[in-house]
Amino acid sequence: MKRLPKAVDLSGSLLVAHPMMADPNFRHAILYLSHHSAEEGALGFILNRPLGQKAGELQINESFEHIANVPLFEGGPVQRNQVIVASLEWDPKRATCKFEPVEPPQGEEFEIPEGLDDKLRVFLGYAGWSKNQLEKEIALNSWLVLKPHPELLRADADDGTWHRIMQGLGPMYRVLADAPEDASRN
């Protein structure tokens, strides 16, 4: 079992589900870790679970009219009814991603900040971990921790994106990723 140094802050990293991940909430998932602290826990959003809908189809709030065409994603298994609007922007100078929650003003019409229209995503729910929970899952090899990459931030990321990551990690991951879900049917 591998261990993380105590003071490692994984905020801004990608969590990629190991091919043997059994939890259906995270099978083949790629998450952006927006907050991480060994003391406070972690918060992330699934990037590759598009729901095939746009935010306008939610019909929850007239103030969201300006983001009606923004793609809707499953953000995670926690509070699946909570709507989170965020911008995901690649910063090439620092080779990192900026993840900024965008708060709609109360009682006012929500306008897309200039320059963010193609970088916005709307998530339903999020993924959360309590104190030291994520560290334990990483030590058990449930997750691979990767640096962000601009391809992974695209709005068309899906299950195929997870497979491409596995292919690039070497032969062992390639074989595991291509294995049937039910080995008895092989």
Could you tell me if residue 4 is inside a domain?
no
Q: Looking at residues 24-30, what average pLDDT do you find?
A: 95
What's the total number of domains in the chain? 1
- Give the contacts of 116 (CB within 8 A, at least 6 positions apart): 87, 89, 102
CA angle 156/162/165 to nearest 5° reads 110
Could you tell me if residue 81 is inside a domain?
yes
pLDDT in tens, 49-101: 999 988 888 766 665 677 788 889 999 999 998 888 887 777 767 666 676 66
The answer to whether the CB of 88 falls within 8 A of the CB of 121 is yes
pLDDT above 70 for 41 = yes
Could you tell me if residue 1 is inside a domain?
no
Tokens at 40, concatenated? 């406070």
Domain carrying residue 111: 14-185
Alpha helices for 48-182 (secondary structure H): 133-139, 159-168, 171-178
Could you tell me if residue 8 is inside a domain?
no
Burial class of residue 45 in the structure, from the number of CB atoms within 10 Å of its CB (0-12 exposed, 13-18 middle, 19+ buried): buried
Could you tell me if residue 19 is inside a domain?
yes
Burial class of residue 178 in the structure, from the number of CB atoms within 10 Å of its CB (0-12 exposed, 13-18 middle, 19+ buried): exposed
Could you tell me if residue 29 is inside a domain?
yes
- Give the contacts of 4 (CB within 8 A, at least 6 positions apart): 135, 138, 139
- CATH code, 52: 3.40.1740.10
pLDDT in tens, 108-157: 555 555 655 567 888 999 999 999 999 999 999 999 999 887 777 766 77
Note the pLDDT of residue 35. Answer: 92
Could you tell me if residue 93 is inside a domain?
yes
Could you tell me if residue 45 is inside a domain?
yes
pTM (2 d.p.):
0.84
